[in-house]
């Protein structure tokens, strides 16, 4: 079954372990992630870096799952949060998601949180910042 939409071009051999070929060869596999071409990835990263609010970030999380099947979880880390590095950003394992993309999405979100720390404060508040006090 050949998808009619443009799909992501393959990574150089040995450079990535995304499982793109396995995904294409598996009948009935969810091919939504392959719609994330390199130009679309750049647009996504730019959009993530320029989020305006926590609601905007949550909206993007929903859209990532609906359109690409990417489950993105953002929450305060287990230990205390002293910087944006203390916020845990987790992408579920997904066949077809390139290694570089898997690293670039959390990095873009961290840059956005550093630009707009009020979003990080809202995120902490939403997860009950004072739960152990």
Whole-structure pTM value: 0.83
The pLDDT value recorded for residue 95 is 87
Whether the CB-CB separation of 129 and 64 falls below 8 Å is answered with no
Average pLDDT by consecutive 10-residue portion of the chain (133 residues)?
Answer: 70 79 86 90 95 94 93 79 72 88 93 91 75 52
Helix or strand holding residue 57 (H, E): helix 54-68
Helices (H) and strands (E) in the chain, counts: 5, 2
The pLDDT value recorded for residue 75 is 82
The pLDDT value recorded for residue 84 is 60
The pLDDT value recorded for residue 129 is 57
Sign of torsion, CA 86 87 88 94? negative
The pLDDT value recorded for residue 41 is 93
The residue ranges of every structural domain in the chain are 20-126
């Amino acid at each position: 079954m050949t998808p009619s939409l443009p799909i992501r071009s393959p990574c150089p051999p040995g450079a990535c372990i995304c499982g793109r070929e396995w995904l294409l060869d598996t009948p009935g596999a969810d091919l939504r992630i392959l719609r994330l071409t390199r130009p679309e990835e750049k647009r996504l990263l730019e959009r993530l870096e320029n989020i305006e609010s926590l609601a905007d970030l949550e909206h993007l999380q929903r859209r990532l799952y609906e359109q690409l099947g990417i489950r993105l979880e953002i929450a305060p880390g287990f230990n205390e949060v002293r910087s944006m590095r203390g916020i845990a950003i987790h992408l579920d394992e997904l066949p077809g998601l390139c290694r570089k993309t898997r690293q670039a999405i959390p990095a873009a979100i961290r840059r956005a949180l550093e630009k707009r720390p009020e979003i990080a404060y809202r995120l902490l508040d939403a997860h009950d910042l004072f739960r152990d006090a």
